[in-house]
Structure 1
């Protein structure tokens, strides 16, 4: 009996011991499980943060370094124009008069691809990237001296000064045909007013009216919508998001389609992913009002020479994506400004076109430029 009682007691103790372990073990697990769960959550969130905020910018930066060398336009020159500044210039074709192409606001010289290819069959055609855009870098501030300090960077005055030094450094034959779109048109006007002996023909494509920002609705659109959207594009490029959107097909370059060579298309994607280029585009839009004021003052100080042939190319509207009233304001102010300041201008209307005419309807632009080239070449032969 004593042995049975001892066995039973021993068994009871074991049961109680197992019972205590059974009750203690869940308690111990409950203490450790939240710690493991929180730790795993923090690690997972850390990986997400690393993936989203650090990896894309790093990969984008590494890709930009490689692409900057590989995608440089074939035949392009990096022309030293002094003051530590180099401008990317690409010329095609041979002969005179030379045609110089100045791109729309915030865009690189690639935008002229189709026009340049077409017109270069008849003469030499040069397109360049303004400072801060494409492959042209900004000058260091401490390397800027003399008259260049008068004009703030990313304004028409400074761009015209850069263009003048580019013409001299690249030894471009004068007088030439100067073609500009939007901000490029403002630069063309400024240049032709101050360097009239160097320009034989001036072609303005959708020139921006000098008083456009006096209209409140236009001012609101430009400062509250367009510039912030461009700043968002700059931030997206810096974060590497633009490259991801391009890969996914959610973002498309302005110049695309089957007729666009692969290297040009890849270069456009490179620029959309490049925060330096996007920064230049933001600045050109941000300081546009100052550029308009500079051109207005120059036109008062020195009228345009009557020896310069002036033509203006416009479409049905400024931008088909804008509300109708904004396009109407633009058209009315543009028409009044041209009639008041440049009544001698020849007006050319391209049906179905807007500000994208340079790369959406390039044949219409090329046709007019080829006519100008032919007239000048015929005149040279007679002389």
Structure 2
């Protein structure tokens, strides 16, 4: 737990040694455990850090009467606020820039915002299954996001608040996201605790609810301050954004992703991962780890030559 000032503490986990430091940012409403396999793999080469955004996982949720001075600018559970929190966390932890910033889904909004604002602190930006900010202008997507996905998360929050989730976990009707023989009992128990924790799930709901606002913030910042040409950008996508989503929505996201990449980061390296969707960070971690190790090797080679 790192004290980031203003009475706020955030959960940070770093593994490995050396530079550049790789920072992993999670999808919407998820705790840092989803990066378990990628972090373990890449930390054999360098320092790899995961963290829980405020209110998620084991990071403290701000109380209503606490103020940081930033809420006048950035609302809670929006990208601008998350990037402000992350910047204070990295400073408080004493981690040395430049960083390789890796984000998945909502984490790509944060990575992009951070890279445009704090460009001298970033060497590489990796976008895994980015949500194009203009997708929320599409009626079908908004209907799916706010009409189906958000209510299902609100039901989970209610289930945790009433104690029903704990019973369903005991009965095996709810299972942790990260599981398998390579996952320790500690990680399993941590996930079960969070699935039963209404505060964690409340923050997950808030992140989804304010996703449209986050998209607007990212769109504005990329127009206001273009990305430095010194930062390399890569985007990793699978066969679909979410294989559990209707096909027409997957096609819509894929089309908008290509357009967004062409317009915002035309020199980016686009990597396709066969058989993957937005769950690739824990279901196809080796493909991501391979790409990150390659970036780390390139940066370390440049450091030695300098």
Which TM-score tier does this pair reach, normalised by the shorter chain? over 0.9
**1:377 corresponds to 2:279:** no
Compute the displacement of 1:141 (Å). 3.9
Q: Give the CA deviation at 1:149.
A: 2.8
Q: Deviations over 1:293-327 (max 9, x none)?
A: 00000001000000001000100000000111111
Q: Deviations over 1:257-278 (max 9, x none)?
A: 2221111111111110110100
1:213-242 Cα deviation digits (max 9, x unpaired): 111111111111000000000000011111
Partner of 1:266: 189
Report SS of the residue matched to 2:193.
helix
**Equivalence for 2:97:** 174
Q: How does 1:174-213 map to 2 (within 5 A)?
A: 174-213=97-136
Distance 1:290 1:183 in 2: 12
| Greater relative CO (CA pairs within 8 A, separation 6+) | 2
Q: State how 1:126-145 maps to structure 2 within 5 Å.
A: 126-145=49-68
Alignment match of 1:289 (pick from 188, 205, 212)? 212
1:346 aligns with one of 250, 264, 269: 269
Counterpart in 2 of 1:315? Answer: 238
Q: Is the 8 A contact 2:70 2:81 kept in 1?
A: no
- Partner of residue 150 from structure 2, selected from 227, 243, 246: 227
How many residue pairs are counted as aligned between the two chains? 306
Cα distance in structure 1, aligned partners of 2:242 and 2:180: 20
Which residue in the other structure is 2:164 paired with? Answer: 241
State the TM-score, normalized to the length of structure 1. 0.79
Aligned partners of 1:148 and 1:161 also within 8 Å: no
Q: Secondary structure at the match of 1:365?
A: helix
Matched residue of 2:97: which SS?
coil
Alignment match, 1:123: 46
Shift, 1:337, TM fit: 1.1
**Structure 2 length as normaliser, TM-score?**
0.98
Match of 1:178, SS state, is: strand
CA-to-aligned-CA distance 1:241-289 (integer Å, 9 cap, x gap)? 1111111111111111222111111111111011010001000000000
Deviates more, 1:208-217 or 1:88-97: 208-217
Higher Cα Rg: structure 1 or 2? 1
Q: Which residue of 1 aligns with 2:26?
A: 103
2:280, 2:154 → 1: CA distance? Answer: 25
- Per the alignment, residue 367 of structure 1 pairs with 290
> Are 1:324 and 2:260 matched, yes or no?
no
| CA root-mean-square deviation | 0.9
Q: Which residue pairs with 1:146 in the alignment?
A: 69
3-state SS in 1 of match to 2:168 = helix
Structure 2 residue aligned with 1:58: none
| Greater per-residue helix proportion | 1
The alignment partner of 2:180 has SS state of coil
Distance 2:191 2:59 in 1: 15
Q: For the residues of structure 1 that align with 2:68 and 2:129, how far apart are their CA atoms? A: 33
The answer (yes or no) to whether the contact 1:83–1:139 under 8 Å persists in 2 is: no
- What's the CA shift for 1:83? 1.3
Matched, 1:302 2:214: no
Matches within 5 A, 1:6-25: none
Secondary structure of 1:281's counterpart equals helix
